[in-house]
Structure formats: structure tokens, C-alpha cells
Amino acid sequence: MAEKEKSLNGSNKVLSWQALGLMTFTSVWGFGNIVNGYANQGLKAVVSWILMFALYFIPYVLMVGEMGSTFKESAGGVSSWIRSTSGAKLAYFAGWTYWIVHMPYLAQKPQNMLIAFGWAVFQNGSLTKTISPLVLQSIALVIFFFFLWYASKGVNALKRIGALAGSFMFVMSILYILLALAAPHLTTARTFTYSLNWDTLMPTFDFDYMTTLGILVFAVGGCERLSPYVNNLKKPSSEYPKSMIFMATMVAVTALLGTFAMGLMFDPTNIPKDLMMNGAYYSFSKLGEYYGIGQTFVIIYAICNTLGQAATLAISIDAPIKILLADVDPQFVPKVFTKVNAKGVPVTGYKLTAVLVSILLIVPALGIGDMTSLYNWLIRLNAVCMPLRYLWVFFAYMMLKKHADQYVSAYHFVKSRGLGMLAGFWCFAFTAFACIMGMFPRGVQSGTDTWYFQFAMNILTPLVLIGIGFILPELAKKERA
């Protein structure tokens, strides 16, 4: 044990805060977040991003920085923070939430792979327009089962390829922003022109706008994901907050510049319905036209995205369930749920994953008529479910400030106990509000069968997923009795 601790806390302190900031940025942010923001709000997303960063994301990042500094010896991230501040039972529910909300996320990854494959082969979005949603979702289910089997083998090759592809996609995203903004000055390309005035940029803060907040929260959340790496920094207490601020700065710059770049390509008053699904490919296709290289950018991006989505799917099947089980108190889960095979794979967790993802892939295809609507709905379902895990981050911060006299930290977002608890409550309440508003369907005529179907699925899915977490402790209790 002593040798292991030395390995983790001594000789392994080789990560710079700049490197951790870049790792976190790559994990949190992607070109798809810029596309989704523009698809929902057009150029008005610029002001939305500014407000989101100022009122939510920056406080969020600084809270995570303080907790990472305070619990610098913890290896379990938010679950360890909850265990330290609120006990094992709530730590179990935090770990459960972190894992279970990945189910809609896992259901979308095979879709993304099919779309990327179609663009890599045909250089257009025809694949999703010529095949029925039920058939496409069935193919996606087959892909998912293959990667479920693949992940169960403990194979790491694809994960390494995916990390390389993900890094290359990051480079292409930055390259897109630079080339798109430069296109009007370097080429004869026809771009949209717009005036940067109040009407162009200022959102209308109505009910419809509120339903898009979940997309923005989903885009900027998750910076606590790499908090277990805090031990790899030379000076965790001071360097971890620096890495979070560095990451937040990069996210803000790319979000704003990326939105302006998309405004040059897509008329903000007439945004394509399928922009969330195909917007990245449309963007690189237009970029290739501007610079006279055809579909080269599209093909490169599609290939990298296929590999990146494949690796993300394999990792996301395996890692969250292991995070849940790594530090869970045995009294909250039945023994069969913690059972692992010879390769360390939690078999029962994989089986439950298979059932839930199968339902999320097939059932919606029966009630949503076209692939574009189905894809857009699943993104918005992710925007409802995934931010639920951020609630535990803000709860942990409120508990940290409540018991501030019990902890020592080299960094403080705010030193005032009352102000800290207020900031944590604000972020908690805003996240919950965004999730609730995200349940109301967009882009679907109100009162239709499809609208009611999507609305019902948006409510039932998180309730069922979280509700299963209450069943396991009861089963474990009966097992002990």
C-alpha cells in the first residue's frame, strides 16, 4: 500500500497545470457545442454565451477549483467530495447519478458514428434521409452491442486511437474558426453579412428561449470530470484552480469566435432544421468550397469523428460504472451488481446498460417520424439528463462552505461562508431550472402526438433512470437480511 501511495502521490507528479487545463478543455468542449448553440439561437447565442460564462460557468469552474484544492488527496472526484462532506449514502447517489445519466449519451453515440460514416463515404447527409429511423436505430443498436462486447474485453487500442482522433478534431475545430473568420478577407467566398446591433445579438427571454438553456448548460458542464488527476500536479492546491481558469478562458474564446464564424456561413434568420445533426459537416464543406479544396475537410473530419465517437462510446460504457463501483459502500448495492469477471468488467452493470440503451434507441423511433427530429430530440434529452450530475457538484460545494471550519484549502472561490453557499445554491437552482425547461419539446408543433410523446419521454426518462438508484439499496438491504 505504501508503495502504491508513493507511486500516486510522489513520483507520478508529472502533470503541469497547463496540460491538465488542455485535457479538461478537450473533455468538456467540442465543435458540436458551438453548432448546437447556433442551431438553437443563431447569433443571439453570443450574448447567451457571455451571460452563461459570467453567471454560471466561471463560478462553476472556480467552485470545482476550490473543491479540487480542498480534497486534493481524493481520487474519486465528485463522489469523494460528497462522501467527505455528506456521508456514504449521498455519495452512492452521486455516483449512481453520474453513471446512469450516461444512458441517453450512450444511445446517441452510435447515431453519431452512422452520421460520420455517411459523410466520410458519400460526403453528404443522404444516409439519414434515405433510410427509415427504425432501421437506422436498429443498426445503431447493433453497433452499440458490438462496442458493449468490445468494452467487456478490456481492449485499449481503440481508446488510444480515439484520443489521437479527439486531439485532431480539436485542432480542426480551432482551424475552422480561424479559416472561417479569415475567409471574407482571403478569398472571394460569399458569406453572410450581419450588423452587430441590439436586435441581432440580444435574445428574447421568453418561454421558448428558456427551453434552450439546457443545451448551453450541457455544453459547458463536466469540468469536474478530470478532478481525479489533481494528485498528478506538482502543487495541487494552487495549480488545479489555475488549470480550471485556463480551461474556462479557452472555452469562452472558442465559443464566441465560433459563433461569429458560423454566422458567416449560415443565415441566422433561416437556420437549417438539421443543423444540430449535420452542422459540423456543412461547415467544413463550405470551408472547403471557400478555399477551393472540395470535400477534403469533410472527409478528414468525418473519419476523425467516427474514430473519436467509437472510442468515446467504448470509454463511456466502461468508465462511469467503474467510477460508481470503485468507492461505493457495499450496503447500497447488491453483491451481484458489484460482481466482476476475470477482466474486471462489472457484468450486471453492463447488462443493465444494454437494456436501458436498447429502450432509448428503439422506443423513440416508434413515436418520432424522421431521423432529424429523432436526433435533435436525443440531444435535448441529453441536455435534460446529463446536467443532473452537476447538481451534486453544487451540493458538495454548499456542504463544503457549510462546514468550512473543518477543511483547509490553499484556494478559495469566496472565503465568506454565506456568499459561498449562495453561489452554490444559485448554480444548483439554475441547473435544475434548465433541466426542467429542457423537457418542453422544441421544433415540434405544440399539441401534436409527437410533441406529447417527446414531452412524456423527457419526463419519464430521468425519473426512471434516477428511480432505479433507489431500488438497489432496498435489494441490498433484503440481501443482508
* pLDDT value of position 128: 83
* pLDDT value of position 69: 81
pLDDT single digits (tens) 145-196: 999 998 888 766 666 777 777 778 888 889 999 999 998 888 887 777 777 7
- In sequence order, what are the beta bridge partners of 450? none
* pLDDT value of position 367: 84
* pLDDT value of position 10: 41
* pLDDT value of position 283: 94
* pLDDT value of position 75: 61
Whether 435 shows a pLDDT value over 60: the answer reads yes
Most confidently predicted of 21-35, 179-193, 270-284: 270-284
For range 248-259, the mean pLDDT: 92
For range 322-334, the mean pLDDT: 80
For range 245-265, the mean pLDDT: 92
Angle at 218 (CA atoms; ends 437, 308), nearest 5 degrees? 145
C-alpha cell of residue 21: 487545463
Whether 342 shows a pLDDT value over 90: the answer reads no
Contact present, 243 and 22 (Cβ < 8 Å): no
pTM (2 decimals)? 0.89
Domains of the chain with CATH codes: 15-479 (1.20.1740.10)
